[in-house]
Amino acid sequence: MKLFLTTIALFLTSANAMSCSCIREHGSLEDQVAAAFASATIVVWAKAESTRDNSKSKLKSSNNVQAIESSDHFEKQRTTFVTIESLKGDHPERFATEVVIVCCVCGYRFTEGKEYLLYLHNGPNQAGYYHANICTRTKPMTSAATEEVEILRELRHPLELKMKEDDTTPNTWCHETAS
């Protein structure tokens, strides 16, 4: 019985060690969104127009270090998106992500036809693809994501919003003093 429990414990521990590990966010929602906004290259609300998976789940050569470093040998998903609203960064109206979707790599699997709030990093790569993973704030559009979009809009246009708030005293933000 002890051997059985030890085997189960080892199995569960090793499975947990192989899973994707993300750093948990702290602070208010506004603080979390501001940090994610600052670190992302592109933040965009977009619809997944099409998805395509490949099935290269095995390495071509287990002895080839270059094969391990290249994601061309792992199962990937390519998703084409259509922009609904760009919140940060420059990107085409239609753009694509390519993510590794095998165990332990943290790739985000998208569903065709669904809308997402995307926090994209390191892109586009040489092939023109952006990268998304589950450790970012990337998520399907829901009422919670809609609240997040409102925060992002404020982050995108802080000066514009400040000017609207100060509308009773125009040009207070660019006051010059005479010397």
Sign of the Cα torsion 92, 83, 117, 18 reads negative
**Phi and psi dihedrals of 121, rounded to 5?**
-130, 155
Q: How sure is the predictor about 135, in pLDDT bands with cuts at 50, 70 and 90?
A: confident
Domain ranges across the chain: 21-49+78-156
**Phi and psi dihedrals of 122, rounded to 5?**
55, 60
Q: How sure is the predictor about 5, in pLDDT bands with cuts at 50, 70 and 90?
A: very low
Sheet strands side by side (includes 94-100) = 129-130, 94-100, 76-88, 42-53, 115-120, 139-140
Q: Which pTM value belongs to this model? A: 0.68
| Alpha helices in 19-103, H assignment, sequence order | 29-39, 65-69
Q: Note the pLDDT tens digit of each residue in 56-90.
A: 544 333 333 333 344 456 788 999 999 999 999 99
pLDDT for the residue numbered 74:
75
Q: Which residues contact 93 (CB under 8 A, 6 or more apart)?
A: 82, 83
Of 11-20, 51-60, 111-120, the least confident:
11-20
Mean pLDDT for the chain?
Answer: 75
- The CATH code for residues 21-49+78-156 is 2.40.50.120
Bond before 158 cis per omega within 30 degrees: no
User: How far apart are the C-alpha atoms of 42 and 95, rounded to whole Å?
Assistant: 11
